[in-house]
Structure 1
Amino acid sequence: MAKETKNAQQPTAADAADPQVVAKQKRKKLIIIIVAVLLLLGVSVGVTMTLLGASSDESAAETDAASEAEPTKQPAIYYPLSPAFVVNFEDRGRSRFLQAELTLLLRDAKVTQALDTHMPAIRNALVMLLSGQSFETLQTPEGKEALREQALVKIQEVLQQEIGKPGIEQVLFVNFVMQ
């Protein structure tokens, strides 16, 4: 009996040929390989993050230096175009109306004088633009955004012709009613 317990503890050549013993040994090797790969991945991620952190700190310092060299942005000036624009247009044989209040965003106070001087040309360009729109298009947010961008271009074109620079940054709709 004592010999049987002794043989059960020590693997023999016959046990090595046993499929269960071979499978256990392969699982152990597989687990060791997986742990080693995960450890290497963890180390490589840590090194990468450390290197990227250092380079992002350098780029942040470069950005700060570049922003110090640039002149500071002037405060925003909002210039309302009043009275509101009211235009009519045809949609499937029906008359439709659009009322839009616009405000311009600019940064140079000198441009306000040019806006006052050239307001008839600006209003004409905007009335022509607004009256040429389609009712279906203006019902979508994308259509309104496209109209806003087109109005910006029209006003900038007038100012470019008259004062030699675009003058305004944005056109904002503060009221937009369609009927």
Structure 2
Amino acid sequence: MGKKRSDTSAVTQVDVPPLSANPQGPEETGEWETDQTSRAKKLLVYAAIAVVAFLALVGASVIFVGGMETAFAYLSLRGVQVTPSVISAQVDQGGEGAVQAATPAVMQPLGHFVVNLLDAGRTRYINARIEVEVDTEATARVIRNNQTKFRDAVISLIGNRTYADLMDVEGKARLREDLNVRFNRLLSNGQVHRIYFTEFVVQ
């Protein structure tokens, strides 16, 4: 008997690398995550810049509106009537400088007055001190040189009022308006803007 040949097949073991959850490899994954983080940071920066710009715009608007309100209040106190035409002219002439040019106030005192009122049966009188606001120094000079005419106008207008006419705010306002109209009629040039009662006592 011949020897029985042992036909044993050789089994070759091949190591198969495990499948990776990331087919791109660890280096490419790190680059992708870095890129996403960079984009997120850029978006945050852009958002922050937008918020800052918006707040700056709001702050500028508030400052502008507040400045305009202050200017209007100042003009009103100085006796300048603020109208759309005045505002337009000021803007056309150069902003702040135009506002300053439109508001010079020249005051001219007319002195002290004691005038009897038109009341029957009882003697009543007004004790007042009056100043006028005019447009220029030249107008103030005209009033100073014609004090007699302007004082006579005051005495004439007040002397035709009664105690009841001057006791309320409306009565004083009407007297102020009438004086303003009369003074401007006496002027051939220039303008009286406003009448001020620095003292006003009815007795």
TM-score between both structures, scaled by the size of structure 2: 0.51
* CA drift at 1:112: 1.5
SS in 2 for 1:133: coil
Structure 1 residue 138 displacement after superposition: 0.5
Other-structure match for 1:69: 92
Among 156, 162, 167, which residue is 2:191 paired with? 167
Separation in 2, partners of 1:148, 1:98 = 14
Check the 8 A contact 1:74/1:107 in 2, yes or no: no
Gap change, CA 1:153 and 1:66, over 3 Å in 2: closer
- Matched AA of 2:164: E
Identity of matched residues, %: 27
Mapping of 1:30-179 within 5 angstroms? 66-70=89-93, 72-82=101-111, 84-159=112-187, 164-179=188-203
Q: Give me the whole-angstrom Cα distance separating, in 1, the residues matched to 2:153 and 2:89.
A: 39
Conservation of the 8 A alpha-carbon contact between 2:139 and 2:190: no
How far 1:126 moved relative to its partner? 1.1
How many Å separate the matches in 2 of 1:64 and 1:158? 29
Contact 1:74–1:108 (Cα < 8 Å) also in 2: no
More helix by share: 1
Q: From the superposition, tell whether residues 98 and 165 of structure 1 become closer, same or farther in structure 2 (CA, over 3 Å).
A: same
Structure 1 residues not aligned, in runs of 5+: 1-62
SS for the counterpart of 2:117 is strand
Query: Distance between the aligned counterparts of 1:157 and 1:74, measured in 2?
Result: 23
Contact 1:79-1:106 within 8 A present in 2 as well? yes
Q: Distance in 2 between matches of 1:138 and 1:64?
A: 35
For 1:151, what is the secondary structure of its paired residue?
helix
Per-residue CA distance 1:55-89 (angstroms, 9 max, x = gap): xxxxxxxx97642325531411121111x111112
CA separation of 1:157 and 1:119: change in aligned 2, threshold 3 A: same
Report if the CA contact (8 A) 2:118-2:161 is conserved.
no
Taking only aligned residues, the RMSD between alpha carbons, in angstroms, comes to: 2.2
CA–CA distance in structure 2, aligned partners of residues 172 and 97 of structure 1:
19
Partners of 1:157 and 1:166 within 8 A in 2: no
List per-residue Cα deviations over 1:6-44 (Å, max 9, x = no partner).
Answer: xxxxxxxxxxxxxxxxxxxxxxxxxxxxxxxxxxxxxxx
Q: TM-score, normalised by structure 1?
A: 0.57
Instruction: Give the structure with higher Rg (CA).
Output: 2
- RCO comparison, higher one (Cα < 8 Å, 6+): 1
1:15-30 mapped onto 2 (5 Å cutoff)? none
> Secondary structure of the equivalent of 2:124?
strand
Q: Evaluate the alpha carbon distance shift between residue 93 and residue 165 of structure 1 in structure 2; reply closer, same or farther with a 3 A threshold.
A: same
2: CA distance, partners of 1:67 / 1:89 = 44
Amino acid in structure 1 at the alignment position of 2:90: S
C-alpha displacement of 1:101: 0.7
Q: Secondary structure at the match of 1:79?
A: strand
Classify 1:110/1:88 alpha carbon distance in 2 versus 1 (closer, same or farther; 3 Å): same
